[in-house]
DNA sequence: CTCGATGCAAAAGGTTTGCATTGAG
DNA sequence: CTCAATGCAAACCTTTTGCATCGAG
């Protein structure tokens, strides 16, 4: 069942903006981006709605990069790569798919009683753009 | 070459405290823990020294859990499991070791020009203590 | 004595929250 | 009309920083 009760243009705009990009945006980026079209959109509303989307499973939190939580609208579990220079996040195309699948089992976390719900794999490195800059 | 220039009792205490625990502590925990022994230890000093230790490679930042950055004094790369209920972090004992190794290569991140420096794998779930609580 | 290390408090960000107002059904 | 959604601003928390003081070499 949905957490959301009523319909709202701003809520729609926030979700659509996040679905339409591959940037794995944070709240601030979404807000700044939408302000152009919706000048009276408040940052608080962006945060509140992102929170709801996450609860509904429409968005997946990726983790904090440079102090800001980032989100992915493509909710099927998959690894990411993060540029430690500029914070860019990309989906990892086809990362040893078979191997990763074998790591997905309930017991992948090893013994000790943890009930593993999900896994996150992140590769950290420098993206092409940043390595061109000579850092 | 070392980042640190001078010797200090407080700095030593901070590092020793973090090396002596398997909790993967955050700055606040270290500070609170040491205050008992060193009443005039300031939180700023804990943050500053942790920052130095990370630069020196003595500590590895694990990521933000519940809004707080956590650190590991065991710097050889290895996966972790995190309790999404209480924030407990544990090393993962022996997680399909062979498989994980095969994911370590420079190209593990897939094509696209990223120069992969390191990888983080985290399993999220509920620890035994929290699942006993019924949550 | 010199310069790095520290305490203290203010500042900086990102995120959350309380409350009055707006708007969807 | 009713209650969810929003704007606004204050509150929160963790982390950083500026500056005067302290302490190691």
Which residues of chain A are within 8 Å of residue B102 when distances are taken between CB atoms? 96, 99
Rounded to whole angstroms, how far apart are CA atoms B120 and B62?
8
Contact B34, B13 (CB under 8 A): yes
Which residues of chain B are within 8 Å of residue A104 when distances are taken between CB atoms? none
> Nearest 5°: phi and psi at B93?
-50, -75
Which residues of chain A are within 8 Å of residue B94 when distances are taken between CB atoms? 110
The residue among A69, A99, A112, A98 whose CA lies nearest residue B125 is: A112
What is the nearest CA distance from B41 to chain A, expressed in angstroms? 25
Do A67 and A111 belong together in one domain? no
Range of the domain at A82: 76-135
Do B63 and B47 belong together in one domain? yes
For the record, the structure tokens of A57 come out as 């499973």
Do B20 and B52 belong together in one domain? yes
Contact A81, A130 (CB under 8 A): no
3-state SS, residue B125:
strand
pLDDT in tens, A67-98: 999 999 999 989 999 999 999 999 987 656 66
What is the nearest CA distance from B9 to chain A, expressed in angstroms? 30
Cβ of residue B63 closer than 8 Å to a chain A Cβ: yes
pTM over 0.85: yes
Query: How many CB pairs lie under 8 A apart between chains A and B?
Result: 123
First-to-last alpha carbon distance for chain A, in angstroms, is 48
From the CA of A117, how many Å to the C1' of D10? Answer: 37
Asked if residue A53 has pLDDT above 90, the reply is: yes
Cβ of residue B55 closer than 8 Å to a chain A Cβ: no
The total number of residues shown for chain A amounts to 135
Least CB–CB distance from B114: residue in A81, A94, A99? A81
The residue among B86, B5, B9 whose CA lies nearest residue A114 is: B86
From the CA of A27, how many Å to the C1' of D14? Answer: 18
Do B104 and B122 belong together in one domain? yes
Do A112 and A63 belong together in one domain? no
What residues contact residue A42 under an 8 Å CB cut-off, 6+ apart?
A31
Torsion of CA A84, A85, A88, A90, to 10 degrees: -50
Sign of CA dihedral A105, A65, B104, B79: negative
Nucleotide nearest to B50 (CA to C1'): D15
pLDDT tens over chain B, length 135 residues = 556 689 999 999 999 999 999 999 999 999 999 999 999 999 999 999 999 999 999 999 999 999 999 999 999 989 999 999 999 999 987 656 666 666 555 555 566 678 889 989 999 999 999 988 764
Do B94 and B134 belong together in one domain? yes
Do B85 and B118 belong together in one domain? yes
């Amino acid at each position: 069942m949905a957490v959301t009760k009523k319909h709202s243009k701003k809520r729609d705009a926030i979700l659509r903006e996040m679905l339409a990009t591959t940037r794995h945006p944070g709240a601030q980026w979404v807000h700044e981006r939408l302000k152009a079209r919706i000048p009276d959109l408040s940052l608080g509303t962006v945060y509140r709605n992102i929170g709801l989307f996450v609860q509904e499973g429409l968005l997946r939190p990726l983790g904090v990069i440079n102090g800001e939580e980032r989100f992915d609208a493509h909710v099927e579990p998959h690894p990411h790569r993060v540029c430690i220079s500029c914070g860019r996040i990309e989906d990892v195309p086809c990362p040893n798919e078979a191997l990763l699948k074998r790591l997905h089992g309930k017991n992948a976390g090893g013994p000790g009683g943890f009930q593993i719900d999900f896994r996150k794999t992140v590769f950290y490195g420098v993206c092409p753009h940043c390595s061109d800059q000579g850092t």
